[in-house]
Each structure stands twice: as C-alpha cells, then as structure tokens.
Amino acid sequence: MSPERWESLKGDLKDKFTLVEETRGEFEDEPGEFDRLIFDGPMGRIKLEFITRPVILDKRTTTSKRIGASVAVDYIYSEDEFTHKLLVYKWDEGREWWDEIKANMFGE
C-alpha cells in the first residue's frame, strides 16, 4: 500500500467510524515509523498499522574467532527508498488480545 492510498483510507475511516485512538511514532530499536488507527467498526474493534521502513541495502556481520565471542550484525539502510506494510488486527474480547487478520483469510 502506498502512503497516498493510506492517507485516503485513513480519511474514509475517520468519516465512517468512531476513532478510539490515532497514534504516530518511530520505532525505538530500528529505523522506521508507524501510523496506527484503532476504531470501532461492524466487526468490532479494529486496529490498522501502516509501517514505513527504509530498504536494507546490505547486512554486515562482525565476528571474532574467540570461543564465546558474540556476533554483531550491522545493517546498511537506504536513505531514499522505503518499504510500506499494512497490518490489520481485530480485538478478541475473550483473550483480551489483538488477533492479526491476514489477507489469505479472505480467500482468493
């Protein structure tokens, strides 16, 4: 999903449903940002997360030949290319947990 399509979808959801929460932020442990909407819809409480991360260009590992030494992995990220992902969750009242809704659950 493109950022333009996400903004359009977000506007449609705000017009049609009652928003419970809208959050935008950055990840603490890796580069990237997220945009989260939680709303009450016909299926119950739904959470949408639109995630934008830079493309990984290279992965470098630093090792040591000593026994018990750790391995460090360094990622090289693109500054102008990004990936986008949309995740959809439904709130499960019984377990009090967000269940992910995958695209293949809707059939082909």
How many residues appear in the chain? Answer: 108
Rounded to the nearest integer, the mean pLDDT of the chain is 90
Helix, strand, or coil (residue 106) = helix
How much is the pLDDT for 45? Answer: 93
Give the global pTM: 0.81
**pLDDT higher than threshold 60 for residue 107:** no
Question: What is the per-residue pLDDT for 108?
Answer: 52
Indicate the helix (H) or strand (E) that contains 96.
none
101 Ramachandran zone, left/alpha/beta (phi>0; psi -120 to 50): beta
For 53-72, how does the pLDDT look when each residue is reduced to its tens digit (9 = 90+)? 999 999 998 887 788 788 88
Rounded CA gap, 1 and 86, in Å?
7
Mean pLDDT value of segment 82-108 = 85
Taking 70 as the threshold, does the pLDDT of residue 92 lie above it?
yes
- Which residues on adjacent β-strands are paired with residue 25? 34
Q: Domain extents for the chain?
A: 3-106
pLDDT in tens, 23-49: 999 999 889 999 999 999 888 999 999
3-state secondary structure of 5: helix
